[in-house]
Amino acid sequence: MTFGSRLHAAQADRGPFCVGIDPHAALLREWGLDDDVAGLERFALGAVEAVAPYASVVKPQSAFYERFGSRGIAVLERVIAESRAAGALVLLDVKRGDIGSTSQAYADAYLDPSSPLAVDAITVSPFLGFGSLTPVLDTARTHDAGVFVLALTSNVEGPEVQHARTDDGRTVAGRVLDQLRELNEGAAPLGSFGAVVGATIGSTDEDLAFNGPILAPGYGAQGGTAADVRRLFGKAAAVLPSSSREVLRAGPDPAAMRDLVRSTNDELRG
């Protein structure tokens, strides 16, 4: 099955909520853990055990594992493997963006099933030119994986690039969405190439109907609400509102994290 098909089925079964597994140092301390590899392992795998059987998608942020070096990456490999074994799709938040052979190497690292870091989908940056993503997109097609491209992020610095106008008068974000529309044309039930659009951007005049999924970070603790999701993304094919701290701060109690995933899915479905 393509990533779009798997995501469509997972959301129908479990709900739209995407849970970030981001081991911030402050969160480790809130759980009573040291900010070291042992603390990372207990935190990350505890979160996986609590949420991966109930969330349609989990989204580890690679940087929080990379900061511990090779031992942190080994924990990330376990997070990926155990999340998938629990039935969740894994969207690895890496925001990679490069050209040529380097772009291909990133694609091989994260999307080729022979890699220990292989996941269902990754986030990428198009700001070296959308064409720089070609190796990643081609590799995703080969392995039925997904790609989420930064389009309209909610950080305050984003608009200076994303709202800039191209020679044809379109915004950079609009051109990204146009490219995704072409990539997903004719895909059923859902395309595999998505956009990252912040749940807290307030409003946009861009057309968010491109037959692909939208990753909407900023839900929950960062201010995004179910009403925001409905207002911003009403015409979108599929939306993954994403939150990390909202769920992880309910830990280390696994039942509390599990119940929050379930109640959030119920709220979003409503």
pLDDT, one tens digit per residue, over 193-203 is 999 999 999 89
Residue 144 in domain:
yes
Full domain range(s) for residue 152:
3-206+220-267
User: How confident is residue 235, by pLDDT bands cut at 50, 70 and 90?
Assistant: confident
Residue 138 in domain:
yes
Alpha-carbon distance 137 to 142, whole Å? 9
Give burial (CB, 10 Å; 0-12/13-18/19+) of 23.
buried
Q: Which residues pair with 149 in a beta bridge?
A: 124, 195
Task: Compute and round to an integer the Cα radius of gyration of the chain.
Answer: 18
Residue 190 in domain:
yes
Pick from 212, 226, 143, 201: nearest CA to 176 = 212
Strongest mean pLDDT among 17-21, 153-157, 198-202, 220-224: 17-21
Strongest mean pLDDT among 104-108, 153-157, 199-203: 104-108
User: How confident is residue 225, by pLDDT bands cut at 50, 70 and 90?
Assistant: confident
CB-based contact 42:48 (threshold 8 Å):
no
Residue 214 in domain:
no
Residue 15 in domain:
yes
Cβ partners under 8 Å of residue 147, min gap 6: 121, 122, 123, 124, 133, 136, 137, 140, 192, 193, 194
Q: Is the pLDDT of residue 81 over 80?
A: yes
Residue 44 in domain:
yes
Mean pLDDT of the region 65-70: 98
Residue with tokens 């690292």: 109
Q: What integer pLDDT is reported at residue 270 of this predicted model?
A: 79
Alpha-carbon distance 215 to 120, whole Å? 14
Mean pLDDT of the region 129-133: 97
Residue 147 in domain:
yes
Mean pLDDT score of the chain: 96
Residue with tokens 């960062």: 222
Q: What is the tally of structural domains in the chain?
A: 1
Mean pLDDT of the region 103-107: 98
Residue 95 catalytic?
yes
- Residue 169 one-letter amino acid: G
Residue 238 in domain:
yes
Catalytic residue among 24, 84, 95, 170: 95
State how far the alpha carbon of 84 is from the alpha carbons of 39, 79, 80, 120, in Å: 22, 8, 6, 9
List the CATH number of the domain containing 10. Answer: 3.20.20.70
Task: Read off the pLDDT of residues 1-28 as tens digits, 9 standing for 90 and up.
Answer: 999 999 999 999 999 999 999 999 999 9
Q: What integer pLDDT is reported at residue 240 of this predicted model?
A: 97
